[in-house]
Structure 1
């Protein structure tokens, strides 16, 4: 497959397996100034190869199944939230206060899709809950972008000043990211070799029988666990009743999963029962936010030897911004992507929330590779990625050839299904390998409607 050697090596994969793949290169897919098409292809291809490798291991195959990556399928999946229809209704992507704003000296990007983030933003700006877009715009036009960034973050909200790539490179957080690998991974203990039950039949689902506790929100983490569900894992997403999910976001990333509500502070016994039987724990909250519940990789490995812990954050769990919340749209603005795709005077954006989707597929790949390594070497494992580190990788990727096949739209990679939340139109999964699944085994159901127990 084209160019996946770097990502595969970061995951500890055998270079000999890189020949087990083919690619359909399509011009016009995810068109941008930065090599977004290439990033997307690499992330999906790496995930598919990790799935094929684990599948061959569990099925006792004489060779790893061939992997197929089609830019059309990848481009469609990378904007899955835009293709989703629920009973013919298109989802709402961003709330009115989630946008770029002119400031006295530049631009600032805010994120206020969730009610609590909206309240913190308005509180930090000294505005009431009924403030209008025009009122916010007028106030921000009189302030500096960096001052808004600091004021809003100190209040627990989300706002970042627009930076050029050069300005971001001079930032201490960029330096902290540059010192880290794309995929942080390692062994936590000397737990015995994981004896994975054989899988057979069709389609080949490499993660069949594995239990994944999904503690993620929004796009990147849910994309990772949605992919593990595609590959056969029993994925149970658990949310706090105090932090309800946006219905459209849940519909897009809830395929193959079950969804339960559990208060970690009061339902501790039920949560510990889930942990005791989990094979994989995936977290996507702000670094350190779940540590008080004993959810650091070290604490989990001590209580559940042999577990795989996958962690996702926006800025990384280190550096001066290691404690900050973040989303793809904010990372694009802070790291210079928005200025590159447009200009410092008129910022642009990537054609997809590619940092979210790409990091999600890489996180799933990391989990799959950890499971494969455990089947040979044992040990509890951790995998850690950050959107801002993926952004740095995007800037380093060499653009590929345009390709002779056009991307003529998403239609071949869209499907429909009835579900408990209505009739759905959705993007098919782009992860494809010989004998593997072409679709999820179940559509999403209502958020929080399932019991907090394993199937």
Structure 2
């Protein structure tokens, strides 16, 4: 099959773009500005991963184009609605490469380390459990909960004699990360699934009656929708940093803040650190410094568990009271409420809990998506929500909040596919038919990932990386700075970066 280009709304995934755009509060007439290049070999899976990824990136690019047009003040009386918004083009090859950006990264020719030996699926007495132990503190808590050494064979022996649900609760109680494998039907019966289902794909709301945002005009070489805006990045791992990396591409001054003594995984920081600066700040001890940063911020993006920042007075309502007109973007694994609302989580764990791993499995073994699609897709949706909030502020004012969750994106991915996998309580069963093998990094059968790769020198070494898939006419093609060492920048804004 060959690649094809056509208007997005007319494609098979047009309904997914329309759903994402509607959840963002976007004008449906603007969907005609989007075209897609379909490459059938990209992101192969049983579930509609390619179509969902394309929709997430398309919605983000359209939100960027809309804000860019608004700031360029190019609309003229009498022109048809949306005619000033630049054309958006979404290429499956670019999307597929970006969704596995960590696999393409090279640092001085060295490939990154992905998952640690104890981050994997394990057989249990009644099925399977998925653990996450990439970070040293999570690894230590897992081993403490299991009462074993870090020898994988020893861990396997302990888990083989215990029920999956018991492992899930024991490890969670110890502060570690493990979830039992569930079918889609089993997850649908879980109280957390019900809590997630009550929420829209992207939550949006107004916090106060702050005056309308004044958007200063911008030029078109390139068109940078977020130039002059300051973003405080309080996120870690993948989804949140993907969102803020995208805002940095679009011109925002992004300052990532991390707590001292809790370093990010080096390769992960490199992959998601393009366009940003990275500083260390204890939010409790450094209240005054954070207050100074907040006073000049336009956007605050958080990836902490729901409620974790409330004790520091950093909930959306408190942030809006201290900084009227701010946009607060929140990301979580399991959603804002429900029995698992306060739990930690990662893409791989959400795949296991929600039934995705069963849907992609074969021969009684759980499978995985061809990319960390929940992380990347949710990250682009969160960036899109921020961009749309900024556009709405220019019309209506008000501090804003937006929220996304990996589990809600997972529910969207599973929609229209029915209860894939075996019914009932058989945790070892999997969906019938062949499962796709884990693909090598690339754009798919009809495109080369090389088309979307670039190289640059940096303080971390010579980097090979994937360019952003967010593309619209006249927009940026690359970030204005490479990533630097974790925590190496001062906790202050660049001079002259504000509006």
TM-score scaled by length of structure 1: 0.97
Map 1:266-345 → 2, pairs under 5 A: 266-343=285-362, 345=364
Q: In the alignment, is the contact (CA less than 8 A) between 1:284 and 1:312 conserved in 2?
A: yes
Per-residue displacement from partner, 1:383-434 (whole Å, max 9, x unpaired)?
Answer: 00100000000112689xxxxx953331111111101100000011000000
Q: In the alignment, is the contact (CA less than 8 A) between 1:38 and 1:397 conserved in 2?
A: no
Higher mean C-alpha displacement, 98-107 vs 337-346: 337-346
Per-residue displacement from partner, 1:342-395 (whole Å, max 9, x unpaired)?
Answer: 148200000000000000000000000000000010000000010000000011
Match of 1:66 in 2: 87
Q: In the alignment, is the contact (CA less than 8 A) between 2:220 and 2:474 conserved in 1?
A: no
Map 1:23-42 → 2, pairs under 5 A: 23-42=36-55
CA deviation after TM superposition for structure 1 residue 242, in Å: 2.2
Higher mean C-alpha displacement, 195-204 vs 372-381: 195-204
Map 1:148-227 → 2, pairs under 5 A: 148-227=167-246
Match of 2:410 in 1: 391
Q: In the alignment, is the contact (CA less than 8 A) between 2:117 and 2:152 conserved in 1?
A: yes
Alignment equivalent of 1:242, drawn from 261, 286, 296: 261
Alignment equivalent of 1:137, drawn from 156, 159, 172: 156
- 1:347 and 2:366 matched: yes
Alignment equivalent of 1:51, drawn from 64, 68, 86: 64
Match of 2:486 in 1: 447
Match of 1:402 in 2: none
CA deviation after TM superposition for structure 1 residue 21, in Å: 1.4
Q: In the alignment, is the contact (CA less than 8 A) between 1:162 and 1:344 conserved in 2?
A: no
Aligned equivalents of 2:284, 2:140: Cα separation in 1: 23
Q: Note the residue ranges of structure 2 that are not aligned, 5 or more in a row.
A: 1-7, 76-83, 419-443, 495-499
**3-state DSSP of counterpart to 1:417:** strand
Aligned equivalents of 2:214, 2:447: Cα separation in 1: 45
Alignment equivalent of 1:251, drawn from 264, 270, 283: 270
Match of 1:10 in 2: 23
CA deviation after TM superposition for structure 1 residue 201, in Å: 3.8
Aligned equivalents of 2:369, 2:264: Cα separation in 1: 25
Aligned equivalents of 1:70, 1:429: Cα separation in 2: 11
Per-residue displacement from partner, 1:61-112 (whole Å, max 9, x unpaired)?
Answer: 2310000000000000000011000000011111111111111110000001
Aligned equivalents of 2:203, 2:471: Cα separation in 1: 25
Q: Note the residue ranges of structure 1 that are not aligned, 5 or more in a row.
A: 400-404
Aligned equivalents of 1:293, 1:303: Cα separation in 2: 13
Per-residue displacement from partner, 1:270-301 (whole Å, max 9, x unpaired)?
Answer: 11111111100000011111111111101101
Match of 1:81 in 2: 102
Aligned equivalents of 2:40, 2:220: Cα separation in 1: 36
Runs of 4+ off more than 2 Å: 405-409
Root-mean-square deviation (CA, aligned residues, Å) is: 1.3
Alignment equivalent of 2:35, drawn from 4, 18, 22: 22
Q: How many residues align?
A: 448
Q: In the alignment, is the contact (CA less than 8 A) between 1:306 and 1:379 conserved in 2?
A: yes
Map 1:118-133 → 2, pairs under 5 A: 118-128=139-149, 131-133=150-152
Higher mean C-alpha displacement, 193-202 vs 82-91: 193-202
**3-state DSSP of counterpart to 1:418:** strand
Closer, same or farther in 2 for the Cα pair 1:226/1:397, shift >3 Å? farther
Match of 2:454 in 1: 415
Aligned equivalents of 1:54, 1:108: Cα separation in 2: 44
Closer, same or farther in 2 for the Cα pair 1:351/1:40, shift >3 Å? same
Aligned equivalents of 1:206, 1:232: Cα separation in 2: 7
Q: In the alignment, is the contact (CA less than 8 A) between 1:310 and 1:363 conserved in 2?
A: yes
Q: In the alignment, is the contact (CA less than 8 A) between 2:72 and 2:220 conserved in 1?
A: no
- 1:99 and 2:124 matched: no
Per-residue displacement from partner, 1:139-163 (whole Å, max 9, x unpaired)?
Answer: 0010000000000011111000000
**3-state DSSP of counterpart to 1:423:** strand
Aligned equivalents of 1:407, 1:315: Cα separation in 2: 35
Q: In the alignment, is the contact (CA less than 8 A) between 1:241 and 1:262 conserved in 2?
A: yes
**3-state DSSP of counterpart to 1:134:** helix
**3-state DSSP of counterpart to 1:27:** coil
CA deviation after TM superposition for structure 1 residue 268, in Å: 1.6
- 1:366 and 2:405 matched: no
Aligned equivalents of 2:448, 2:47: Cα separation in 1: 20
**3-state DSSP of counterpart to 2:231:** strand
